[in-house]
Amino acid sequence: MGLVVQKYGGTSVADLERIENVARRVIKEKESGNDVVVVLSAMAGETDRLINLAQQAAADPDPREYDALISTGEQVTVTLLAMMLKRLGYRARSFLGHQIKINTDRAFKKARIVKIDTRKIREELKKGAIIVVAGFQGVDEENNITTLGRGGSDTSAVALAAALKADVCEIYTDVDGVYTTDPNIYDKARRLDKISYDEMLEMARAGAKVLHPRSVELAKKFEVPVYVKSSFSDANGTLVTKEDKDMEKEVVSGVTYDRDQAKITVVNVPDRPGIAARLFTPLAEHNIMVDMIIQNASVDSLTDLTFTVSRKDVKQASILVQDAAKDIGAANVVIDDSVAKISIIGVGMVSHSGVAAKMFTTLAKEGINIEMISTSEIKISCVVKAKYTELAVMVLHDAFELEKQKS
């Protein structure tokens, strides 16, 4: 007998009928002889609705209250599923983050799980129960409710799988696996049978919503096998696992886009030591993640410094940066929140040259201007105007022939 963690996303629990579908799938797993721990998201659209309410209540809602509010969507789905499982004749118990406990740090809106106490779950599993856990939430040292960042239920599931030493973590969603690009953007996207933790991590960080980046970090660290599958079919799905020799053949295995980007340019920054620290320290202190950073070569000891942040942080970031810019004597700050980041990812890039050149040529041919570039060992990202997102994804997918199965 094994232990399986199954996570169902928002579209999979969007209404009572779909929650019943989840109940039947969970029961099937239980009947096959495995213990089952289920992690649920809120109903599709519910977290957005709650965020909207918070923003109507206050322009800058108190983070503690905000997290306590936006975590409530999951309380609805886990209790409904547990009720249904009981109605269908199974012992079931729902748990919120603080009832288990899922301990996190104190970073509201983007908390990180630091420890999970598995005692209650293990006790209930021994009694034959199906465990249903609210995703996306935890509790800090002072018992404040925290949330893990949008899409964070994936992370709850993988963290639970790691803590319980589960045999597998299955992520059920509205697509039947990880594709070469978002199948909802390009119909030539191809489903991958497997993908390495490293490639999946880069894809997730580059904006592929299908898995929350932190969930892949944890899966890699604790070597949790993760299957991404559809909750609406019995198709095989994609296994996220350790890299093997076959995978290295793919120079580029995926194209991703991230519309959640805003570009901030500080113009005419005096080029002297300590300037970057003065600009970026306040952002770090406010937990604002900076993604790409470019500093131009200086002319007459003046330089432009451009970087990107998440769109939801741009208001706060621009206030902090304007303050710093005044302090250091920069000319002004320019904000552009109509940009997107397009990335190509592949472990095979390490040993192939010319990949970047091909990406730039492909975008140039379509008249798409590249505003920023960044590279890592297995990823190249370009910031372009947001209106070119779909076009850029499609032409890059074609240029690297991702619709074709290689080897």
Tell me how many residues contact ligand ADP (CB under 6 A): 19
Q: Is 368 exposed, middle or buried (CB count within 10 Å of its CB: 0-12, 13-18, 19+)?
A: buried
Rule CB under 6 A: choose which of 6, 41, 103, 389 binds ligand ADP.
41
Mapped onto helix, strand or coil, the DSSP state of residue 100 is helix
> Residue 39: which of ligand ADP, Mg ion, ligand ASP, none does it interact with, CB under 5 to 8 A by kind?
none
For residue 203, CA distances in Å to 67, 84, 209, 331 come to 27, 36, 9, 36
> Residue 213: which of ligand ASP, ligand ADP, Mg ion, none does it interact with, CB under 5 to 8 A by kind?
none
Strand spans (E) along 112-232: 113-116, 130-134, 137-139, 145-147, 168-173, 194-196, 226-230
Query: In the complex, which residues of this chain contact Mg ion (CB under 5 A)?
Result: 9, 151
Please report how close the Cβ of residue 208 comes to ligand ADP at its closest, in angstroms.
4
Rule CB under 6 A: choose which of 92, 208, 305, 339 binds ligand ADP.
208
* Whether 134 contacts 78, CB under 8 Å: yes
Please report how close the Cβ of residue 73 comes to Mg ion at its closest, in angstroms.
13
182 binds ligand ADP (CB under 6 A): yes
> Residue 208: which of ligand ADP, ligand ASP, Mg ion, none does it interact with, CB under 5 to 8 A by kind?
ligand ADP
346 binds ligand ADP (CB under 6 A): no
> Residue 101: which of ligand ADP, Mg ion, ligand ASP, none does it interact with, CB under 5 to 8 A by kind?
none
* Whether 314 contacts 336, CB under 8 Å: no
Alpha helices, H only, 229-306: 275-285
List the structure tokens of 114.
């630091």
* Whether 251 contacts 228, CB under 8 Å: no
Please report how close the Cβ of residue 151 comes to Mg ion at its closest, in angstroms.
4
* Whether 120 contacts 100, CB under 8 Å: yes
Rule CB under 6 A: choose which of 12, 41, 94, 265 binds ligand ASP.
41
Query: For 198-233, b where at least 16 C-beta lie within 10 A, e where not — what string?
Result: bbbbbbbbbbbbbbbbbbbbbbbeeebebbbbbbbe
42 binds ligand ASP (CB under 6 A): yes
Please report how close the Cβ of residue 256 comes to ligand ADP at its closest, in angstroms.
6
Mapped onto helix, strand or coil, the DSSP state of residue 133 is strand
> Residue 210: which of ligand ADP, ligand ASP, Mg ion, none does it interact with, CB under 5 to 8 A by kind?
ligand ADP
150 binds ligand ASP (CB under 6 A): yes
Q: At what angle do helices 355-365 and 389-399 cross, to 10 degrees?
A: 130
Please report how close the Cβ of residue 70 comes to ligand ASP at its closest, in angstroms.
8
Residues 225-284 that bind ligand ADP (CB under 6 A): 254
Select the span of 73-81, 127-135, 208-216, 373-381 touching ligand ADP (CB under 6 A).
208-216
Annotate each residue in 272-311 with x if it binds ligand ASP (CB under 6 A) or - if it does not, as one string.
----------------------------------------
For residue 60, CA distances in Å to 51, 142, 311, 312 come to 11, 23, 15, 12
State which residue, 161 or 264, has the beta carbon closest to ligand ASP: 161
181 binds ligand ADP (CB under 6 A): yes
Give the H or E element holding residue 390: helix 389-399
Alpha helices, H only, 71-152: 72-87, 97-100, 119-126
List the structure tokens of 185.
């953007």
Select the span of 100-108, 110-118, 130-138, 178-186 touching ligand ADP (CB under 6 A).
178-186
Select the span of 19-27, 122-130, 144-152, 369-377 touching ligand ASP (CB under 6 A).
144-152
List the structure tokens of 341.
């980041």
For residue 41, CA distances in Å to 59, 133, 171, 364 come to 26, 9, 11, 41
Q: Which residue is nearest to ligand ADP (CB)?
A: 9
Rule CB under 6 A: choose which of 18, 112, 209, 220 binds ligand ADP.
209
- Residues lying near ligand ADP in the complex (CB under 6 A) are found at 9-12, 41, 151, 173-175, 178-179, 181-184, 208-210, 254
Task: By CB under 6 A, name the binding residues for ligand ASP.
Answer: 9-10, 41-42, 47, 73, 135-136, 150-153
